[in-house]
């Protein structure tokens, strides 16, 4: 039977959990996740974890934050003067805002703190610093 290898397009069903058991995502009740192994479409630990699996194989992946979204980085937390916010924004802790980098790419940040004249925003991925666990089942391989 064919084993999944780098360059194959595969489909997997999965449930992702944090170490405390909190489910953060699942493909239950929807189509399986489809991606090409080694293409950078999924986190590195997930990519590596499916190599060698056969159709109908089930596996649990324990992925360190280094092989997921990386460690939280303090340099991705910065203050923005309230005067720089778009008109009509009423900042709240936990609120997501969309920003644009110098290359014109949009990205999401989260307001982590509000002061009298500024807000602190966090541009880390929401799962940065988290080890992730995935229960997966390989359902399809196509070359």
Tell whether 1 is covered by a domain.
no
Same domain membership, residue 59 and residue 30: yes
Determine how many CB atoms are found less than 10 A away from the CB of residue 138: 22
Same domain membership, residue 57 and residue 109: no
Q: The domain containing residue 87 runs over which residues?
A: 74-122
Residue 50 in tokens: 């499916």
What pLDDT, on a 0 to 100 scale, did the predictor assign at position 99?
86
Same domain membership, residue 91 and residue 105: yes
Same domain membership, residue 113 and residue 63: no
pLDDT tens-digit map of 51-72: 999 999 999 999 999 999 999 9
Is residue 18 over pLDDT 90?
Answer: yes
**CA-wise closest residue to 12 among 30, 39, 33:** 33
Determine how many CB atoms are found less than 10 A away from the CB of residue 33: 17
pLDDT tens-digit map of 94-140: 999 888 888 888 988 999 999 999 999 999 998 999 999 999 999 99
The pLDDT mean for the chain works out to 94
CA angle 133, 93, 16 (to 5 degrees): 10
* Local structure of 30: helix, strand or coil: coil
What pLDDT, on a 0 to 100 scale, did the predictor assign at position 107?
87
Q: What Rg value do the Cα atoms of the chain yield, rounded?
A: 19
Provide the CATH number for the domain around residue 118: 2.40.10.330
């Amino acid at each position: 039977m064919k084993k999944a290898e780098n360059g194959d397009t595969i489909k997997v069903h999965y449930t992702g959990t944090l170490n405390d058991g909190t489910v953060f995502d699942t493909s239950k009740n929807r189509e399986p996740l489809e991606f090409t192994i080694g293409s950078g479409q999924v986190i590195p630990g997930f990519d590596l974890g499916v190599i060698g699996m056969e159709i109908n194989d089930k596996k649990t992946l324990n992925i360190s934050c280094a092989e997921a979204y990386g460690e939280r980085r303090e340099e991705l937390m910065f203050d923005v003067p309230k005067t720089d916010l778009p008109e009509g924004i009423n900042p709240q802790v936990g609120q997501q805002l969309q920003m644009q980098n110098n290359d014109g790419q949009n990205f999401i940040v989260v307001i982590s703190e509000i002061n009298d004249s500024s807000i602190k925003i966090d541009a880390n991925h929401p799962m940065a610093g988290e080890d992730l666990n995935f229960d997966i089942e390989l359902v399809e391989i196509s070359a």
